[in-house]
Homo-oligomer: A and B are copies of this chain.
């Protein structure tokens, strides 16, 4: 598969005339990152847009004491690192490849030119940022207004609608990473999973395999109607 095919497959660039795809191939920087490798750090200058071609990337913050808060996971076709492209200034968070990942980098100026010439890309990019704002709004709501059992329930219900395999949902990330995504620590997550299992809301079958026994109970936890 050639570079131009990967570019044509990026949702952000869908519906763009073919010649622009060709233009993009001339400026793209094709990069491979190993598991655990840092793509950029908070405070670095961001002079371009990244797109995940394969693998997975996490965007996160770290506190003084080393606690980590994951902001996003990005996979195939998803752009990241766009904030400094449009708002100037520096990256607000870190990006790390959590598995072997292939990433395309598009330098800022060429990308801005593309937007100037193609309102459809501008609208796509606006849609991407707006969805991201929505996601952040939900994360803020979770962190500020819900307890960990509520956040976990929301996540489990979300997973059950996407990555489920005949009622057994499969965690696509480690529990440590899940804790960090939910704004807590592995110990707390572990305890709450155990408590949910004891209350027969879920059944833990296998390290990354969870069965939902009482979907309604989880929903009540997620909305704050019930506490664990």
- Partner-B contacts on A (CB < 8 A): 61-65, 67, 69, 71, 82-89, 92-93, 112, 115-117, 119, 122-123, 125-127, 129-134, 136-141, 143-146, 183, 223-225
A144: B residues at CB distance < 8 A? 61, 67, 69, 143, 183
Question: How many Å lie between the Cα of A125 and that of B125 in the bound state?
Answer: 10
Per a CB cutoff under 8 Å, which of B63, B134, B139 touches A87?
B134
A122–B115 touching, CB < 8 Å: yes
B61–A137 touching, CB < 8 Å: yes
Q: Give the one of A61, A112, A116, A224 with max B CB within 10 A.
A: A61
A63: B residues at CB distance < 8 A? 141, 145-146, 224
Question: How many Å lie between the Cα of A61 and that of B61 in the bound state?
Answer: 23
Q: What distance in Å separates the Cβ of A166 from its nearest Cβ neighbour in chain B?
A: 30
A86: B residues at CB distance < 8 A? 123, 126-127, 129-130
A143: B residues at CB distance < 8 A? 140, 143-144, 183
Question: How many Å lie between the Cα of A223 and that of B65 in the bound state?
Answer: 10
Question: How many Å lie between the Cα of A122 and that of B140 in the bound state?
Answer: 27
Question: How many Å lie between the Cα of A223 and that of B138 in the bound state?
Answer: 25
B115–A116 touching, CB < 8 Å: no
B115–A69 touching, CB < 8 Å: no
A-B contact pairs, 14 of them (CB 8 A): A61-B137, A61-B140, A61-B141, A61-B144, A64-B224, A65-B224, A69-B145, A71-B137, A71-B140, A84-B130, A86-B130, A87-B134, A126-B126, A129-B129
